């Protein structure tokens, strides 16, 4: 007679271990709920999903990483990437910034190699991943060159400087079969995904309106020209943008307040919060956009509009309103608690949800606490943006903010910036990716920009 493999004592012990494990699991969820303010049901689901995620890379399974653009954001991104790969090379047109990054990423006396021209590091066979943290006007050429060199890419947001550049980046990524993750890391934050899932599943009823508050930009000037610092290759830094004399305020941290290199806070912070609104609404692009300027730039100073309101209308009637608030720190993660914080509010027929990096709230706490049904719409689940990227480097699956998603997200921000610059009500055709109807000619002139030679698409070949 075959002996029974599970005796009553074995089964009892198994049930006991299960109960202990279950109690431990629930205790972890309860502690996390108390610390984050997220509902218990959501955290239970998150922890359960975390238990089946791919294992971490072993010491012998670490890609070679190169950082292009060694500013503060670049060093932070590379530090995150160093948890999954080895930083072997750096590129920057500013020798001081490169030297600072070398110091940070030297491990056991072994320093990453420095390149003045990022294209040279792309020639290395031991480099598998590029972290692109250059200013916005360099994103496209670096991404295209990396894709053609068959390197996977973690690219800072917004994906491109213009809408037209997005099609070129998508083509390069698809043609060369590389993985590209756009650095809109809020997609990998639990609060934002929870808010978007609740909106998509009509927890607040039919979505009527979403409001986004962004930090206001800088309104300063006029600025004086100065001698180019010895350590800086200014012509290379300017790249595809029009050639101008060196002005310290144009370079490095404040580049984002000049249309030559960026799109103001509309494409900077907007690439985060507008992206979440886009994710929750679930449509490719708005149909109409118009903007109102609250102030004008100071002649000779930053030329990107600093205070504004942008209104979008989608084909399903949903309205999206973008506002700026001055009570915020443009360079920081946290806000002045006395003023209007940045974030997103979703207004539905049966309530509202507010979310930002610090908290999630609802008109009725029950909107958050009640679990979604098993058949609810589920969005892409990532709890760590860089980890998700490296997981996809290994699996060759699409990351949470792949190149197409990054392009659509950036397009939404560019539409707002174009409406601000033209001062006209505009109609957008998402399929043709151009403006149509009244004011289309003026607006379409901003879809692409002339690239200064030699920093055009041939530079990335």
**Using 50, 70 and 90 to split pLDDT, how confident is the model at 282?**
very high
Instruction: Kindly tell me if the per-residue pLDDT of 334 is higher than 50.
Output: no
Residues 146, 149, 153: CA angle, nearest 5 degrees: 35
Packing angle of the helix pair 40-50, 190-200 (nearest 10 deg): 110
- Select from 276, 237, 272, 69 the least CA-distant residue to 157: 272
pLDDT at 370: 95
Please enumerate in sequence order all residues whose Cβ is within 8 A of that of 286, keeping only pairs 6 or more positions apart, or say none: 312, 313, 314, 320, 412, 415, 428
The 10 Å Cβ neighbour count of residue 262 is: 23
pLDDT at 28: 64
**Using 50, 70 and 90 to split pLDDT, how confident is the model at 101?**
very high
Stronger pLDDT, 412 or 329, i.e. the higher one: 412
- Select from 354, 367, 134 the least CA-distant residue to 251: 134
Give the integer Cα–Cα distance in Å for 281 and 346: 10
Give the integer Cα–Cα distance in Å for 49 and 62: 24
pLDDT at 4: 47
User: Strand pairing of 152-155 and 426-429?
Assistant: unpaired
* pTM for this predicted structure: 0.89
What are the structural domain ranges in the chain?
190-379+403-460
pLDDT at 331: 61
Judge whether 204 and 318 are in contact, CB under 8 Å. Answer: no
234-271: per-residue pLDDT in tens? 999 999 999 999 999 999 999 999 999 999 999 999 99
Q: Which CATH class is domain 190-379+403-460?
A: alpha beta
Give the integer Cα–Cα distance in Å for 56 and 65: 16
Give the integer Cα–Cα distance in Å for 205 and 302: 42
312-322: per-residue pLDDT in tens? 999 999 999 99
pLDDT at 305: 98
Give the integer Cα–Cα distance in Å for 241 and 248: 16
pLDDT at 341: 86
Instruction: Kindly tell me if the per-residue pLDDT of 441 is higher than 90.
Output: yes
Q: What is the mean pLDDT of residues 141-155?
A: 98
Alpha carbons within 13 angstroms on the beta-carbon side of residue 207 total 29
The 10 Å Cβ neighbour count of residue 230 is: 7
pLDDT at 9: 57
> Rounded to whole angstroms, what are the CA distances from 48 to 23, 42, 198, 387?
14, 10, 19, 17
Q: What is the mean pLDDT of residues 356-365?
A: 95
pLDDT at 340: 77
Q: What is the mean pLDDT of residues 97-121?
A: 98
Give the integer Cα–Cα distance in Å for 156 and 80: 13
pLDDT at 60: 57
Give the integer Cα–Cα distance in Å for 85 and 57: 8
Which range among 216-220, 330-334, 409-413, 417-421 shows the weakest confidence by mean pLDDT? 330-334
pLDDT at 13: 54
Provide the mean pLDDT of the chain: 91
**Using 50, 70 and 90 to split pLDDT, how confident is the model at 426?**
very high
> Rounded to whole angstroms, what are the CA distances from 447 to 166, 284, 414, 442?
10, 17, 8, 10
Q: What is the mean pLDDT of residues 215-233?
A: 97
Q: What is the mean pLDDT of residues 97-117?
A: 97
Judge whether 424 and 444 are in contact, CB under 8 Å. Answer: no
């Amino acid at each position: 007679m075959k002996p029974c493999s599970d005796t009553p004592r074995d089964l009892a012990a198994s049930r006991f271990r299960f109960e202990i494990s279950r109690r431990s699991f629930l205790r972890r969820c309860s502690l996390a709920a108390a610390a984050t303010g997220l509902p218990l049901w959501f955290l239970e689901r998150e922890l359960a999903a975390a238990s089946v995620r791919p294992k971490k890379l072993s010491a012998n399974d670490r890609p070679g990483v190169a950082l292009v653009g060694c500013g503060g954001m670049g060093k932070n991104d590379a530090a995150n990437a160093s948890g999954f790969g080895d930083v072997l090379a750096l590129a920057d047109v500013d020798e001081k910034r490169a030297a600072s990054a070398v110091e940070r990423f030297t491990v056991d006396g072994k320093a990453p190699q420095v390149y003045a021209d990022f294209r040279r590091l792309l020639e290395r066979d031991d480099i598998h991943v590029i972290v692109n943290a250059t200013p916005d006007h360099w994103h496209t050429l670096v991404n295209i060159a990396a894709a053609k060199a068959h390197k996977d890419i973690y690219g800072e947001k917004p994906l491109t400087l213009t809408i037209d550049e997005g099609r070129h980046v998508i083509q390069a990524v698809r043609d060369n079969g590389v993985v590209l993750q756009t650095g809109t890391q809020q997609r990998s934050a639990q609060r934002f995904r929870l808010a978007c899932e609740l909106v998509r599943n009509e927890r607040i009823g039919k979505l009527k309106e979403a409001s986004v508050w962004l930090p206001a930009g800088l309104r300063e000037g006029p600025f004086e020209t100065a001698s180019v610092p010895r350590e800086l290759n200014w012509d290379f830094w300017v790249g595809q943008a029009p050639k101008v004399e060196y002005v310290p305020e144009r370079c490095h941290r404040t580049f984002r307040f000049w249309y030559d290199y960026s799109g103001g806070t509309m494409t900077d912070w907007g690439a985060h919060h507008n992206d979440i609104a886009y994710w929750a609404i679930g449509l490719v692009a708005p149909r109409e956009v118009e903007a109102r300027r609250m102030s004008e730039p100071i002649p000779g100073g930053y030329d990107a509009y600093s205070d504004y309101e942008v209104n979008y209308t989608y084909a399903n009637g949903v309205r999206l309103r973008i506002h700026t608030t001055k009570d915020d720190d443009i360079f920081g993660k946290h806000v002045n608690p006395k003023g209007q914080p940045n974030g997103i509010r979703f207004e539905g027929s049966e309530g509202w949800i507010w979310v930002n990096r610090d908290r999630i709230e609802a008109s009725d706490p029950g909107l958050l606490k009640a679990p979604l049904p098993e058949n609810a719409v589920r969005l892409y689940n990532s709890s760590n943006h860089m980890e998700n990227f490296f997981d996809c480097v290994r699996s060759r699956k699409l990351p949470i903010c792949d190149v197409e998603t990054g392009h659509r997200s950036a397009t939404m921000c560019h539409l707002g910036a174009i409406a601000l610059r033209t001062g006209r009500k505009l109609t957008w055709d998402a399929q043709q990716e151009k403006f149509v109807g009244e004011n289309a000619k003026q607006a379409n002139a901003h879809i692409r920009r002339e690239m200064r030679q030699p920093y055009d698409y041939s530079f990335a070949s």
